[in-house]
Structure 1
Amino acid sequence: MAIDITLIHWIYISFILAVIGFMLFRRDTTIVCVVGILTLAATSTLSVSASITSLFNSFIFAITELLPTILVISIIVAMSKILTKSGINEVMVAPFSKIIKTPTTAFWTIGLLMMVISFFFWPSPAVALIGAVLLPVALRAGLPALGIAVAMNLFGHGIALSGDYIIQAAPKITADAAGIPVLDVVNASIPLVITMGLVTTITAYIILMRDLKKNKTYTSTSTCSSSPIEETQEGLMSERMKKILAISIPIIFVLDVVVMFTLNLQGGDATALIGGTALLILVVTTCFAHKKRGLEETTGYLIEGFQFGFKVFGPVIPIAAFFYLGDAGFYSIVGDYLPENSEGIVNDLGVALANGVPLTKEVGVITLTGVGVITGLDGSGFSGISLAGSIAQLFSTAIGASTATLTALGQVTAIWVGGGTLVPWALIPAAAICGVDPFELARKNLLPVSIGLVITTIVAMFLV
């Protein structure tokens, strides 16, 4: 199906390049995104008032989309504050200190645990579980917060989410679009996920260790540079009560995992369960620690948590507002101004790329990687994978390549880019829990993920 590429599409591409350029040079992108939204709205509506309205509506849309993540991060941070201040966290992480003693063991232990939990419940609740318990002990072992965020990010939002072997939401979407069985996509993705995972994690580990040997400091440059971790305040709680709660809290979270598995809770539902549990733990622990002041102190911790959450998300909302225009958000924010057969700006660009290249197996593989990268730019990872499946089916018919391999390649690349390793607002959960700048985390992931995409694409050429 032919897609009309209009001036709106070209403006969107131009501002994407501008945003990426500003990020690479470590400059703030807020004004660029605001100008981009205004330009797209003005070009579409030809109205000054409608353009200004669209700018405000884009921020509302972005905040609405991000609000569940903001809430769970804020509550987890508030809970972490009382656990650390009361000394419970000290007791809780003591057993892990026997395993996590060096930056190397911290990186691989946190990464592998993150991957396993993410396979069953997706990365967002896994970030909350792993971060709340293992962040302090990993920091003491010498792994900087940015390194912890990289490990959680690559293993969870990268390896686990791109394969999605347990829940199988991603392979089902791509398989349905390609018209092939889900199991075919799952099997075809295994060598690609392994290749991508090994290359990115090993590369990231080597870079981290090199930086540590050079005594390179990892300092955040944005408003979320302040860590959510508090100093312990002596005398708030008896040693006996600390031990009871230190044992009870992990058991409660394990019960959450059992409930998720039993009731088949996934994604947002699983995250909500973790968030609600953390809120209850915050209330009970604060009342035990502060006694008569429990009511007031609970509100204080919540305020601190929300302050941290919105401080973290402040720089991200403008860029998220702009990139949401690339998908269905355009119709909600600006209106129905795209071509009649449009499926959203990024999907249109993906189709145009597929229609505009010569058809050989090698070019087909490179094109599917390109489609995955482009459609992943909206920060969802999942929104464009059905398009990848459709294009894979077209290419396989034309060049006689494996539909399953091409489909799996599009799925893996789209989720690695948009699911939470390169697009800043998609990787915010890991960045916020670790108290690091999401843009700095995206830059740190850029080289390992880029190398992984290149090598995975080359491997796919031999598999089709």
Structure 2
Amino acid sequence: MPETALLLTPMHYLYLIGVIVILTVMILRKDTPAVCIGFLFLLGFVGLGTITGGIQVIFKSILYAATQFMEIIATIALVTALSKCLSDLGSDYLLMTPMRKVMKSPSVTWWLLGLTMLLFSFFLWPSPSVALVGAIMLPFAVRTGLSPLMAAMAMNLFGHGIALSYDLVIQGAPAISASAAGVTTSQVLHQGGPIFWTMGAVTVISAFLLNYRSISGSVPVTIAHREVSESSLIKNKKAAFILAVLTPAVFLADIFFMVFFQLNGGEATSLVSGTAVLLMCIGAILGFKKKSLEKVTDYVTDGFLFAIRIFAPVIIIGAFFFLGGEGIGQIMGTDFSGGIMNDWALWLAGHAPLTKHMAAFFQMIVGGLTGLDGSGFSGLPLTGALAHTFGAATGASVPVLAALGQITAIFVGGGTIVPWGLIPVAAICNVSPLDLARKNLLPVFIGFGAAFLVACFII
């Protein structure tokens, strides 16, 4: 049973004020890095008691956030490098041609892109799936008239939303929740199944209907016009054709290896990223021969410049929110542990009047709070433990409560609500993470409402 008798300090209240101010600035569509830096200094000053401590916390927090994001930064950079190589050779145009028969309209494309992302993410997890689906399908989706922002929404809600929160195949998330709640993984998946599917279905249907005009109203790129202009740019048709065939074939081989060798998470992401680098090098050699060494350097440089440009403000924002989770111990020292937002969640659990339905509601609130650090999985031990506590106190279903906490923690922190958690999709689609987060907000909250109502019936 988690300890709920917590003493809230001035640092806790200052951090909560910071969260409210930053979210308010985001809603007003203003940039937040300067606000985050200000609160980083104040938190360091209050927590460590010195001005120098406050200054050091700014740098340490940013450095910590950069290390946490580095895997994603490298993946985005290397996939972008491959994308530039495909474009220079004209391979992307050749890849697009057979997809015209399938992706006939932006609306059909939206669902096809989302369902493909869902399938890949169930088996591979979303991060490597974003790279795979983005590298192969995104150019085709945009050619049908689907805007990059709408494409990002489809990939994000189906992948980092439905697939990651349910985690039906790999079962990493439900295993953590179940272990902390004292139940089995199958109980969380089975008893929580109606909630997971309700959340997913209501969210994506709401997203489609709310954005129907934006999704279906765009005019597809005229293939005939592009055929004349783009085909003339393919100077080395043999190299373009080889890379156009090799790219999907090798990525399909990656999928086979991931499934066969049970690679997931960082291992799967590294396989995809490494494959992208090799394909880029092969394309440069085939297409540019003596100039291939310089072209590889150019592609890698362009890829990392793009990734850093996207991530620079997000690293600053993430630095503040990592203080709310377990990162605070590494940033400010071992005297600080557990995370400020986790403390607030425990305080809330210990001071709220409980019934079955109130327990379900607070479980969702706690899950959302723990997700604000941008790591959906970091809050699962807490939501699982609280599910056990709330269940014992009210007689509610522990697996259902665990499922609710898991859904909100991952939908918020795993990459659909907080901008610093959905960077992979935003970067691959070259859209603003803040814009994507705003687009996701209403559909996800409609999904939360539907999930809560279903939970009230089965709890």
TM-score, normalised by the number of residues in structure 2? 0.95
Q: 1:126 aligns with which of 126, 129, 132?
A: 129
Q: Structure 1 residue 213: deviation in Å?
A: 6.6
Q: 1:442 aligns with which of 419, 437, 443?
A: 437
SS in 2 for 1:314: helix
- Please name the residue that 1:409 is paired with: 404
The answer to whether the Cα contact below 8 Å between 1:236 and 1:289 also exists between their aligned partners in 2 is no
Q: Structure 1 residue 189: deviation in Å?
A: 2.4
**Quick one: distance in 2 between partners of 1:142 and 1:208?**
14
Q: Flag as ranges the 4+ runs of structure 1 deviating above 3 A.
A: 211-216, 231-238
Q: C-alpha offsets along residues 153-173 of structure 1, whole Å, 9 cap, x if unaligned?
A: 000000000000111110110
Q: 1:454 aligns with which of 449, 455, 458?
A: 449
Task: Describe how 1:216-365 pairs up with structure 2 within 5 A.
Answer: 234=232, 237-338=235-336, 343-365=338-360
Q: Structure 1 residue 212: deviation in Å?
A: 5.1
Which shows bigger deviation, 240-249 or 49-58?
240-249
* Letter in structure 1 aligned against 2:237: E
> Could you say if the C-alpha distance between residues 257 and 462 of structure 1 is closer, same or farther in structure 2, counting changes exceeding 3 Å?
same
Q: Structure 1 residue 239: deviation in Å?
A: 2.8
- Please name the residue that 1:91 is paired with: 94
SS in 1 for 2:422: helix
Task: Describe how 1:146-157 pairs up with structure 2 within 5 A.
Answer: 146-157=149-160
* Letter in structure 2 aligned against 1:156: G
Which shows bigger deviation, 1-10 or 233-242?
233-242
Q: Structure 1 residue 337: deviation in Å?
A: 4.2
**Quick one: distance in 1 between partners of 2:449 and 2:236?**
55
Q: Structure 1 residue 188: deviation in Å?
A: 2.0
The answer to whether the Cα contact below 8 Å between 1:395 and 1:401 also exists between their aligned partners in 2 is yes
The answer to whether the Cα contact below 8 Å between 1:117 and 1:123 also exists between their aligned partners in 2 is yes
- Please name the residue that 1:17 is paired with: 20
Q: Structure 1 residue 388: deviation in Å?
A: 0.6
**Quick one: distance in 2 between partners of 1:137 and 1:211?**
17
CA RMSD in angstroms comes to 1.5
- Please name the residue that 1:107 is paired with: 110
**Quick one: distance in 2 between partners of 1:196 and 1:101?**
28
The answer to whether the Cα contact below 8 Å between 1:384 and 1:414 also exists between their aligned partners in 2 is yes
**Quick one: distance in 2 between partners of 1:165 and 1:349?**
30
* Letter in structure 2 aligned against 1:404: P
Which shows bigger deviation, 413-422 or 134-143?
134-143
- Please name the residue that 2:427 is paired with: 432
Q: 2:418 aligns with which of 413, 420, 423?
A: 423
Matched, 1:166 2:134: no
**Quick one: distance in 2 between partners of 1:417 and 1:249?**
33
Q: 1:211 aligns with which of 203, 210, 214?
A: 214
* Letter in structure 2 aligned against 1:200: T
The answer to whether the Cα contact below 8 Å between 1:163 and 1:189 also exists between their aligned partners in 2 is no
Unaligned runs of at least 5 residues, structure 2: 220-228
The answer to whether the Cα contact below 8 Å between 1:45 and 1:337 also exists between their aligned partners in 2 is no
- Please name the residue that 1:76 is paired with: 79
Identity %: 43
Q: C-alpha offsets along residues 29-75 of structure 1, whole Å, 9 cap, x if unaligned?
A: 01110011111110011111111111111111011110010001001
